[in-house]
Amino acid sequence: MSDFRARNWVFLGDSITEGVGSSRFSYVSELASMINDRAGKNDAAVFRLRWQSPDVLGRQVMFNCLANCSVSTGDAPGLWIWNLASEGQVIDTDFAWLPLLANLRPEKIFIMRGALESIMRPECYVSQQHPFWIPREWRGYAALDPRCYFSDTWWRRAKQRLVDGIKQKLRHHLLRTRPVRSLMAPDVFQAKLDQFCAAASQCTSQLVLLGLVPVSDETFPGSRSRFEMIDQIISQVARKYHASFVDMKQAMSRQTMQDSSEKLFYLDGFHPTLTGARQMAQNILNGIGGLS
């Protein structure tokens, strides 16, 4: 009898991995599309389970099945891609997925962490000790982050541009005049990544750590140098656990963006566009040697 068992790949991360906007495309969905295009059929299916609470195994919500999920009719079993990333959640929440990973035993686990944890923000947005004059609805840790894009409807776009412009002036003023820090210090992030990789490496035959995409210093002042430091940490942890490390800097560099006919990043200089997501997906496939 033929072996109909699917191969499983799992992706963990924040909004860069989950995707932004109503379509929620990301490098994960684009990677599945590339695999299917090459195979000429839907052998790769994407499922997305979003982090809900520490009791995650009792609260999984499955949505956006991005491809038909069926066993392969070819020589190799089908590939199921599990996107477990969730926007606004740091590496701490990945530990809640370990029971699922232990039972799923995926062939590969891809981890893209360190971006959300390392963006440099006004200190009051990390400590949540805001000046009294900042509106309450603007006090979330990412409340002042620049928008990725604006609405196509003129009056919505005008309103969004006005509010975003005020927020950016306020954020840059705070960055210039007050202490800045990230949601997680580099040594704390390294300890958590090390701890998670130690556990995750027991659940898979190949652990893949993805480097960070470069962030714009214009929209997020001071963050690029921090990202470079975190990239070195990710690479070190990868070597410690004999994991693959896929460097994203070259594939998503500003030079690559200038050479491309389409932008690789949205207006915030942080989240990849569809073109950027495809560039990332191709870089990952190259980095892991394809489907092998």
Q: Write out the residue range of the structural domain in which residue 16 sits.
A: 7-119+184-288
pLDDT of residue 66: 40
CATH number at residue 191: 3.40.50.1110
Q: Are residues 243 and 200 in the same domain?
A: yes
Task: Provide the domain count of the chain.
Answer: 2
Q: Are residues 79 and 197 in the same domain?
A: yes
pLDDT of residue 79: 85
**217 in a structural domain:** yes
pLDDT of residue 46: 73
Q: Are residues 32 and 142 in the same domain?
A: no
Cβ atoms of 32 and 81 closer than 8 Å: yes
> 8: which residues sit within 8 A by CB, 6+ positions away?
79, 80, 81, 82, 104, 105, 106, 107
**Percentage helix, strand, coil for the chain under 3-state DSSP, each rounded to 5:** 40, 15, 45
**2 in a structural domain:** no
**1 in a structural domain:** no
**202 in a structural domain:** yes
Q: Are residues 88 and 230 in the same domain?
A: yes
DSSP secondary-structure letter at 13?
E
Q: Are residues 198 and 280 in the same domain?
A: yes
Q: Are residues 145 and 200 in the same domain?
A: no
Q: Are residues 277 and 145 in the same domain?
A: no
Give the three-state DSSP class for 34. Answer: helix
Q: How far apart are CA 252 and CA 279, in angstroms?
A: 7
**284 in a structural domain:** yes
Give the end of a domain, one of 180, 201, 226: 180
Q: Are residues 282 and 195 in the same domain?
A: yes
**28 in a structural domain:** yes
DSSP codes, 132-147: TTS-GGG-STTTTSPP
pLDDT of residue 63: 43
**151 in a structural domain:** yes
Q: Are residues 75 and 128 in the same domain?
A: no
Give the three-state DSSP class for 109. Answer: strand
pLDDT of residue 58: 47
Nearest to 224 by CA among 212, 233, 235: 212
Q: Are residues 195 and 278 in the same domain?
A: yes
Q: Are residues 24 and 159 in the same domain?
A: no
Give the end of a domain, one of 139, 161, 180: 180
With 0-12 CB in 10 A as exposed, 13-18 as middle and 19+ as buried, what is 182?
buried
**Alpha-carbon dihedral sign for residues 241, 192, 143, 178:** negative
Give the end of a domain, one of 180, 213, 230: 180
Q: Are residues 167 and 200 in the same domain?
A: no
pLDDT in tens, the chain (292 residues): 345 567 899 999 999 999 987 778 899 999 988 888 876 665 667 777 765 544 444 444 444 444 333 334 455 557 889 999 999 999 999 999 999 999 999 999 999 999 999 999 999 999 999 999 999 999 999 999 999 999 999 999 999 999 999 999 999 999 999 999 999 999 999 999 999 999 999 999 999 999 999 999 999 999 999 999 999 999 999 999 999 999 998 888 755 555 555 789 999 999 999 999 999 999 999 999 876 6
pLDDT of residue 262: 75
DSSP secondary-structure letter at 245?
E
**44 in a structural domain:** yes
Quote the tokens at residue 36: 């299917």
